[in-house]
Structure 1
Amino acid sequence: MSLFDKKSPDPDGYPAPNQDEEPLAHEVDWTPQEEAKAKRKLDFIIMPLLTLGFFCLQLDRGNISNAITDNMMEDVGITQNQFNVGQQMLSLGIVLFEIPSNMVLYRVGPGKWLTLQLFLFGTVSTFQAWQNSYGSFIASRFLLGITESGFIPGGLWTLSTWYTRTETAKRVMFFYFGNQFGQASSKLLAYGILHMRGVAGRAGWFWLFVIMGIFTVASGFVLGFFLPDSFKNPHSTFLPRVKIFSEREIHILCTRVLLDDPMKGKKKKRIGRAGFKKALTNWRLYVHVLITLSNNGPQRAFDTYAPSLVREFGFGALSSNALASVGLFLQIPTSWTFSYISDHYNKRGPTVVTALSCHVLGYIFNRGFTELNGVRGAKYFGVVWTQTFGTFSHPLNIAWMSLTCEDSEERALAMAMVIMGANIAGIYGAQIFRSDDKPRYRRAFSVGIGVLAFGLILAIFRYIDDRRLRRKGRRQSTIGPARTSSISHSNQDSEKVGDKAGSPPSEREDPRRQIVDLVK
């Protein structure tokens, strides 16, 4: 049985709700056919809209890597090292405003806030086309980071409110495909758009920012007309009187979520001091944050400079963008396979270790192949390999980390820690590829190998620790029933323990503790 199929054995064993909490008395009064129809309608509304938003975010965040292949740095008048500072400002803006953004979302609702964010960062992305100095470049990257902050955890939080635990894991994967597809598509689209150099006397990168930014703003209208806010306000921002769901559908969708996890009906106003203490004193959470820091720095750096690296191999300036998208498209089925193994077979540690190992190997390939002369096929293979395996250990690590937490408060704080860690990684990662290291980037690849190897060692250490906890939990679960039950009961209990042998002790103690709660 999958981890996400577990339900609380005692859903009524919670204290009475406070005044700011919803009642928890619910029962099933619908047919399976009604539920399937309502859920299918939800899928066709929620999932395409959130994935579209993530797609737009990645287009606007990543199109800068395509722009620099069209001489953007020379046109604006900035050096490569100044460009790196701009990338740092993007990550800094996200880090500083991540929590305030989520506080606003919590108050006004995801329908309104996520729609507004698309308008904001779409507008900033569009006006990047008119940057003409180092100052305007720095300001636009920082503003883009501010306006994009909080969108990803906001999307995750929205999914957790509409879906049950068994359903959310797969939909989170689908949500992240918007990011991966955006990464790949931005480079492929750039190949065509950059051919517009000379139109109206403008550079190709000018049209790249304008077209992709306008597309994001237009997508904001799509979310504004169709994205519902919440169960209490199941209407879109621009059509507040139009019912997206019927009263019956809302009743079914809301009740099934609360039956799956009654804690979702107990919405706390704030996280208490005890929750902060528990999270900040859990050393295992810091290990997962360090794994994220180790993986995401080299990954962000490589993604930014991948088209430029391909261009250095001797490929055309524009075709290098299309070639740099191949590994990102291959990443989509690869990450799906790893995610399926991680979830279905409960192989959290092994999938993270394998993904990090492949990422390290990619940097080793690049470090070695760049020393070869005239073998651009081998060099390009190193780029494709690194792109294919460079990203998805991050969401796998998040899923693994969430199972280390004992309650929703600790999970929410852990999520905040790891997201901030991912963006801090972008700050140092922006300086890995520097101008004095061109064109082979020996130092950059060597630093990447060292940083990734450190993350791999941490993942292996955490996996060994996880196995120790599992063995300890199995022993405790096997000995306990034998002291208090008859032999027949003991045999039955042993079979039950065997079914859960692959789960850490904390999962058996609190079956509600799942990844979908981590953004509550």
Structure 2
Amino acid sequence: MPTIIADRTEKLCRGEFDGGFEKEDGLSIPPLGQPREEKKFWFQRRQGYDPNAIATQPSVYDDVDIKDQYAPRADWENIHRFDPLARWTWGEEHKVIRKIDWRIMLWVAIMFTAMELDRANLNQAVADDFLADMNLSTNDYNLGNSVYALSFLAGEFPSQLLAKWIGPDRYIPVQIILFSIVSASQFALNSKASFLACRSLLALLQGGFIPECVLYLSYFYKHHELTIRLSFFWTGMFTADILASLIAFGLLHLRGVQGYAGWRWLFLIEGLITGIIGILSFVMLPPGPTQTASWSRGEKGWFTPREESIMVNRIIRDDPSKGTMHNREPITLKLLWQSLTDIDLWSLYAIGLTFNIPTFSPSQYLTLSLKGLGFTTFETNLLSIPYLVLKIINMLLLSILAEVTGQLAASAVLFQLWCLPFLVYLRVVDTTHASKWLTWAIISLLLAAPLAHPVQVGWISRNANTVRSRAVGAALYNMFLQAGVVISSNIYRADDAPLYRRGNSILLGILGLNVQSSCVSKWVPGDVEPQYSKTPSNIGQFNDSPSREEKTDKSLQVVALPSSEQLESPMSPSSMTAVAMLASAALASALCTPETFTSFLADKAEATVNFAQAVPQNGSFGQGSANVAFPINATQLPALCAVGINVKSSENSSYNFGLFLPDETWNERFITTGNGGYGGGINWPDMGRFSHYGFASMSTDTGHISGSGDGTWALNAPETVIDWGYRAMHGSVVLAKEIITNYYSANEGIKYSYYASCSTGGRQGLREIQLHPDSFDGISVGAPAWWTPHLAGATLWQGLYNYPESAPTHIDPSLFATVTAEMKKQCDPQDGLVDNIVSDPYGCNFDFEALLCTSSNSTACLTAAQLTTLYKFYNDWVDTDQEFVFPGVSLGTDASFLMSSVSTLGSDFFNYFVFNDTEYDFTQFTYKDLQVADAINPGNASAHDFDLSPFMKRGGKILKYHGTADSLIPTGSSVYFYRKVLQTLRPKGIDLDDFYRFFLIPDMGHCSGSTTGPWYLSGGSQSLTGATHSVPRYEDAEHDIILAMMKWVESDEAPDKLIATKFVKDNAAAGVQSQRPLCVYPKQAKYISGDPNVPESWECKSLY
């Protein structure tokens, strides 16, 4: 039972004490979090969930009068991370839990799968005439199962005690290797004696495995978290049964190979598989939360010091008894006797004896029954799979139901009630004359009953009040369970075959007994179900006085707590918080001076302060027309400090960056935004939008001042080109983090760092994480100009397609609207909905010749020569050997931007970045010029490193988006980048969806805007107005890509889709015109039915 504090905790959490926090030695105890017991699972959604709220729950450690009684032992393995004053947020806690799930829980389930594979493969062997080959009867088979169960039972206690003594992390791998050897040796079975001996030895070595794993998991999880995870743990067992059937389908075909039966190969090969898992378990099982560092798991281990602190303190607060024993401490005879005589748990042990018998007996005879019904060996193995899948689903649902409702006994009864009608059918119907498929369905549904095992094991764990009771209790429960297996193995007898009416009658009687036992156990003193109230007003603790190991009175004791009059300070926590915020804001405003920031840069000779200016609430800031790239100021800002810093990067170059530092609304997070084209200027507008979220935001001018299409500054300026390429971004990120940490010195520093931008800004973000994976925790990039030389070359080439104007191939700009209209006319219906949006340009089968001039249409049309130009523009650029160079523009994209004239985004790159020559004649551009550019890669700017695994491994997340009507950077470039990353990481076993998700936005142009389609996500360069932030009226992670990025990083909840919004005339005040889901590539939104302007009318589907 969790030990937590009594009725004043509700007031303490709400800040209702006039006296404020308790004080000890003059130090204030930090505030505690509101209990959130109603959110038991990660997939539950709640209104008002705040990842930044304090998650630390009230416990005995918050009461100065009693906390010393519950202090962990000095030799507890986690004592160095124990801190009663430690506080953390829900976002941090959930992130840590997800990490534990992946690192610990998953491997424990894999180990269980291995054990079950060796334990249950006898069922598949029987389907391959094992009994006939070994000259055994069904009674001999029953005897083998009974011997196994009794030996398993006998091995429980010794194995559990050994594991507690030397540590589960050491014992379990050895245990797996040993029983894998025995399992594989069954290849050589030759008699009834050898069969029984192997079954006995196998069980003795496997005994204790399950309670060892449960004990091990309790080191990492709270009580209420264990139930659902134990259901996943037992999912491993059923997964093994499914795998066993599938593997057996293949291995049993080996019958006759080298003259051996198929079942012999089955035992040998599956034993070898288990042995490999046993060896790997030495690496995958750390001793405990703070002991993950090793030669095999890395010098720093799996968890940071902060994560270790969260793990240790949330566990010990939930159950202080976990600090009473070291994880390698043996259970003495005295402690063992105390645990055995803990009669409060015995009613639960009794349930374990009989609860599973109604399904266990039929399951042991499933393969024999199916063979008796006339199914072949291989049909029998395959027909053993469906009920296992349904059983997994039912077990998980039952576990969830038990935790959500808190009704553990009632949930256990549901298991029995499920079995009732199917057992009645088997008892009264002559299945030898019924349809074999109907009989198979009835038996399968019976065996698919929602297993209550995880619920009951969790019930034992939370009612055990000490580590030794938990260890011994888990073993005792499993011993009773195995005793039930012995009973089960002897209910169906040979003289009762084939209908087993007597056996089914016994099963019905046991079922009725189970229902009564579960109901009685709900009210047995000491074994009552733990009731978790929604508020802590009635929470108490189990009293183990005089010591926690020598229990004398296990009744519920309410801790007497001081009244509000006894508390010292007259200020409540909420008042203190408000005052603290005001004081922080006043302090921040006072600190917003050049002198402050100069002091921060005292040891940075290369850095100087340009300005530091306090901006009032609803004020504006920017550099106006002097900032050519971003002449529009950020407006309606929160109160903040605007800072400008200059950094000398070489003898001949320097760069500037700007900071917006919110006064009182800082969310302890940092965000960087980028630039566009070749433009040089600080992106104050996007910084302003991001400051509304609470971010401290930063942007750099990359070392020069210019418009986005002006690359002349690069002439004779190689160091400035390097600043533009990557150096200014990285240097600004590093220095900005240091300044922010100093500025908000009263806080714990920056919790998370993010990046959001588009176009060149997208390239900057990708390049930064390629070169410096630790810079950001998450990035959101739109239409990234990642392949710098090829994009510039393609931009120049596309302009030259239509050059010169006197050429017969030239298309007059007045015809571009005709071209776009024809593309929408043909392609729009092909995506399943006529809405003036080409939703799937890659799926459109476009007939270019429909634009060809005819006798009836000689004006709004193209000649054959012009048609060749158009064809090249909308298709990939290839070299003389027809090798891919760069993608063409997507169908449906307006060609005006790139084909009206030659863009300086292409010509300036080769004039000034590549050849550094004002006389370079771009009209003579050839593929060889691009090869020169590739070799130079000016400024090391191109983000073509497709191995993003370093960023993934440090936990980084990428959200990328691209409009399908982008006339500046072809959509195909982002698709090509995605595929190259996929080709690079897939051989490493990395699933891109784990850290990188890509969304296509139909009909959106470059970074933003669409005449018809929904496009707004609040991404970089997506401002509606200077004052608009997030998605008005839809400020959530489903509609806002910035919030989606934060949620993925901080709560490990990846977006399966985003919803784009189109406001009327792109004016949020005018209301929503339409919304549409954006799907994770390669899926796309497909119209189903209903109003196409609402997202519910669409679904994400793989179209190819």
Aligned partner of 1:84 in structure 2 is 142
Deviation at 1:18, TM superposition (A): 5.1
Question: Which structure's relative contact order is higher, taking Cα pairs within 8 Å and 6+ residues apart?
Answer: 1
Aligned partner of 1:9 in structure 2 is 59
Deviation at 1:338, TM superposition (A): 0.9
Report the AA paired with residue 455 of structure 1. N
Question: Contact 2:126 / 2:368 at 8 angstroms: preserved in 1?
Answer: yes
Report the AA paired with residue 452 of structure 1. L
Report the AA paired with residue 398 of structure 1. V
Aligned partner of 1:304 in structure 2 is 364
Question: Contact 2:357 / 2:488 at 8 angstroms: preserved in 1?
Answer: yes
Aligned partner of 2:165 in structure 1 is 107
Question: Does 2:475 match 1:425?
Answer: no
Q: Compare the two structures and name the one with the higher strand fraction.
A: 2
What does 1:2-151 correspond to in 2, within 5 Å? Answer: 2=37, 9-11=59-61, 12=67, 14=69, 20-21=75-76, 23=79, 25-28=83-86, 36-151=94-209
TM-score (norm 1): 0.82
Q: Which residue of the other structure, out of 391, 401, 407, is the alignment partner of 1:347?
A: 407
What SS is found at the alignment partner of 1:360?
A: helix
Aligned counterparts of 1:134 and 1:309: Cα–Cα separation in 2: 22
What SS is found at the alignment partner of 1:14?
A: helix
Aligned counterparts of 2:336 and 2:276: Cα–Cα separation in 1: 41
Deviation at 1:340, TM superposition (A): 0.7
Deviation at 1:401, TM superposition (A): 4.6
Aligned counterparts of 1:165 and 1:291: Cα–Cα separation in 2: 20
Aligned counterparts of 2:147 and 2:376: Cα–Cα separation in 1: 30
Question: Contact 2:413 / 2:518 at 8 angstroms: preserved in 1?
Answer: yes
Aligned partner of 1:173 in structure 2 is 231
Deviation at 1:273, TM superposition (A): 5.7
Aligned partner of 1:257 in structure 2 is 315
Report the AA paired with residue 493 of structure 2. R
Aligned partner of 1:244 in structure 2 is 301
Aligned counterparts of 2:57 and 2:118: Cα–Cα separation in 1: 40
Deviation at 1:327, TM superposition (A): 1.0
Q: Which residue of the other structure, out of 179, 197, 218, is the alignment partner of 1:160?
A: 218
Aligned partner of 2:503 in structure 1 is 444
Aligned counterparts of 2:303 and 2:400: Cα–Cα separation in 1: 34
1:288-332 C-alpha deviation (Å, 9 max, x unpaired): 222222223343322221111122122222211211221111011
Question: Contact 2:354 / 2:481 at 8 angstroms: preserved in 1?
Answer: no
Report the AA paired with residue 443 of structure 2. V
Report the AA paired with residue 280 of structure 1. T
Deviation at 1:377, TM superposition (A): 2.5
Aligned counterparts of 1:233 and 1:406: Cα–Cα separation in 2: 24
Q: Measured at CA, do residues 429 and 4 of structure 1 come closer, stay the same or move farther in structure 2, by a change above 3 Å?
A: farther
Question: Does 2:395 match 1:335?
Answer: yes
Deviation at 1:403, TM superposition (A): 5.4
Q: Measured at CA, do residues 456 and 63 of structure 1 come closer, stay the same or move farther in structure 2, by a change above 3 Å?
A: same
Aligned counterparts of 2:419 and 2:463: Cα–Cα separation in 1: 24
Question: Does 2:244 match 1:186?
Answer: yes
1:90-121 C-alpha deviation (Å, 9 max, x unpaired): 11221112111112212222222111122111
1:320-364 C-alpha deviation (Å, 9 max, x unpaired): 121122111101111111111111111212111121122233322
Deviation at 1:243, TM superposition (A): 4.5
Aligned counterparts of 2:150 and 2:558: Cα–Cα separation in 1: 36
Question: Contact 1:27 / 1:255 at 8 angstroms: preserved in 2?
Answer: no
What SS is found at the alignment partner of 1:342?
A: helix
Question: Contact 1:93 / 1:145 at 8 angstroms: preserved in 2?
Answer: yes
Q: Measured at CA, do residues 85 and 337 of structure 1 come closer, stay the same or move farther in structure 2, by a change above 3 Å?
A: same
What SS is found at the alignment partner of 2:60?
A: coil
Q: Which residue of the other structure, out of 420, 438, 442, is the alignment partner of 1:360?
A: 420
Deviation at 1:383, TM superposition (A): 0.9
Deviation at 1:153, TM superposition (A): 0.9
Aligned counterparts of 1:382 and 1:393: Cα–Cα separation in 2: 20
Aligned counterparts of 2:431 and 2:296: Cα–Cα separation in 1: 59
Aligned counterparts of 1:188 and 1:93: Cα–Cα separation in 2: 28
Q: Which residue of the other structure, out of 362, 376, 379, is the alignment partner of 1:319?
A: 379
Report the AA paired with residue 168 of structure 2. P
Aligned partner of 1:291 in structure 2 is 351
Report the AA paired with residue 286 of structure 1. W
Deviation at 1:21, TM superposition (A): 4.5
Question: Contact 1:228 / 1:244 at 8 angstroms: preserved in 2?
Answer: no
What SS is found at the alignment partner of 2:85?
A: coil
What SS is found at the alignment partner of 2:199?
A: helix
Aligned partner of 1:393 in structure 2 is 452
Aligned counterparts of 1:4 and 1:286: Cα–Cα separation in 2: 30
What SS is found at the alignment partner of 1:244?
A: coil
CA RMSD of aligned residues (A): 3.5
Aligned counterparts of 2:88 and 2:509: Cα–Cα separation in 1: 56
Question: Contact 1:258 / 1:264 at 8 angstroms: preserved in 2?
Answer: yes
1:438-471 C-alpha deviation (Å, 9 max, x unpaired): 22222222222222222222223334668x979x
1:457-501 C-alpha deviation (Å, 9 max, x unpaired): 2223334668x979xx99xx9xxxxxxxxxxxxxxx9x945x99x
| Structure 1 unaligned blocks of 5 or more | 478-492, 501-505, 512-520
- After superposing the two structures, state which structure 1 stretch, 345-354 or 363-372, moved more: 363-372
Q: Measured at CA, do residues 465 and 21 of structure 1 come closer, stay the same or move farther in structure 2, by a change above 3 Å?
A: closer
1:208-259 C-alpha deviation (Å, 9 max, x unpaired): 11221111111112222332222454256x8387543255244443344334
Aligned counterparts of 2:523 and 2:378: Cα–Cα separation in 1: 46
1:254-299 C-alpha deviation (Å, 9 max, x unpaired): 34433443332221754786985686363x6333222222223343
What SS is found at the alignment partner of 1:117?
A: helix
Question: Does 2:273 match 1:215?
Answer: yes
Identity value in percent: 26
Aligned counterparts of 1:469 and 1:147: Cα–Cα separation in 2: 34
Q: Compare the two structures and name the one with the higher helix fraction.
A: 1
Question: Contact 1:75 / 1:132 at 8 angstroms: preserved in 2?
Answer: no
Aligned partner of 2:897 in structure 1 is none
Deviation at 1:399, TM superposition (A): 3.3
Q: Measured at CA, do residues 507 and 223 of structure 1 come closer, stay the same or move farther in structure 2, by a change above 3 Å?
A: farther
Report the AA paired with residue 409 of structure 2. G
Aligned counterparts of 2:557 and 2:320: Cα–Cα separation in 1: 16
TM-score (norm 2): 0.40
Aligned counterparts of 1:111 and 1:281: Cα–Cα separation in 2: 27
What SS is found at the alignment partner of 2:356?
A: helix
Aligned partner of 1:460 in structure 2 is 519
Deviation at 1:412, TM superposition (A): 4.4
Between the two proteins, the alignment pairs up a number of residues equal to 482
Aligned partner of 2:429 in structure 1 is 369
Deviation at 1:143, TM superposition (A): 0.8
1:372-413 C-alpha deviation (Å, 9 max, x unpaired): 514222211221111111x61233233345555555555544
1:152-206 C-alpha deviation (Å, 9 max, x unpaired): 1111111111223343333222212111222233223322322221222221111
Q: Which residue of the other structure, out of 441, 448, 473, is the alignment partner of 1:381?
A: 441
Aligned partner of 2:262 in structure 1 is 204
